[in-house]
Structure 1
Amino acid sequence: MIVQNATPILLLALLAITFLQSGYDKIKDWKGNVEWLKGHFSGTIFGNQVPLALFIILVMEIVSGVFSVAGIIELLTKTESTIGFYGAILSCKTLLMLLFGQRIAKDYDGARTIVIYFVPAILAVYLLG
């Protein structure tokens, strides 16, 4: 089963590592993240909403990461992964939210970086769908 599902397992591992580490970083340094993002989004529609927006992103990242881990476990024990599919979809939604924020902040290099993560996420949706 591992060999047959190697590609989706590796893609879900990438998503799990990406989002769980990012969520952990947000929790560990909440204050620092809020302060940095307030400057990043000053003068935008999110300027006064940074803590709420960061909390929403945090929840999305943790749920995406947990679903991705659960999807790996499901792939290792079954022939399909509905949970992994939903994890990949949530990952795409999370990345689109991050992309939107970067575009609003006019951080085009940051937006470009998010697209790099979006490609494997959408591939996971395709393979698991």
Structure 2
Amino acid sequence: MIQVAPLLVLAFLAITFLQSGYDKIKDWKGNVEWLTGHFANTILAKQVPFALGIVLVLEVVSGILCVSGIIQHLVQDVVIRGLGFYGAILSCITLLFLLFGQRLAKDYDGARTIVIYFIPAVLVVFWLN
């Protein structure tokens, strides 16, 4: 039986992270420049390219796992502990990394935005657990 709600949230996470990863790859230099200023007064000031690389990998792998989970659910009817479950967990971890960065930079509006993404990500972990 196909569960539509988890598939919709997995699609939301996949779109979010794959598009964000694509943007980071396409405009690496611009992202590094902007983030260098954003994190200028933090412990990440000299680590921006490295930190951005970590976030890029987390986002792309999260997106791929979410897409794979959707396909797995549609083809194999796997609902519990499938690839989507692990994609949702990695999505939550990725969002926690992003939240940490926003809080570190004292960008509280940005941190609040991350929470909006975190809620459905946790919800889909709950649904697929």
TM over 0.5: yes
TM-score of the aligned structures, taking structure 2 as reference length: 0.96
Corresponding position: 1:84 with 2:81: no
Contact kept, 8 Å, 1:88 with 1:124, in 2: the verdict is yes
- In structure 1, the residue matched to 2:52 is 54
The one-letter amino acid of 2:19's match is Q
SS in 2 for 1:42: coil
CA offset at residue 76 of structure 1?
A: 0.3
- In structure 1, the residue matched to 2:93 is 93
CA offset at residue 79 of structure 1?
A: 2.5
Contact kept, 8 Å, 1:80 with 1:128, in 2: the verdict is no
The alignment yields a C-alpha RMSD, in angstroms, of: 0.7
**Counterparts of 1:122 and 1:80, CA distance in 2:** 19
Q: Give the percent of matched residue pairs that are identical in Structure 1 and Structure 2.
A: 69
Runs (5+) with no aligned partner, structure 1: none
- In structure 2, the residue matched to 1:65 is 63
- In structure 1, the residue matched to 2:17 is 19
**Counterparts of 2:97 and 2:78, CA distance in 1:** 28
Contact kept, 8 Å, 1:23 with 1:61, in 2: the verdict is yes
How many equivalent residue pairs?
127
**Counterparts of 1:80 and 1:117, CA distance in 2:** 24
CA offset at residue 38 of structure 1?
A: 0.2
CA offset at residue 78 of structure 1?
A: 2.1
Contact kept, 8 Å, 1:12 with 1:84, in 2: the verdict is yes
TM-score of the aligned structures, taking structure 1 as reference length: 0.96
Runs (5+) with no aligned partner, structure 2: none
Extract structure 1 runs of 4+ deviating beyond 4 A. Answer: none
CA offset at residue 43 of structure 1?
A: 1.1
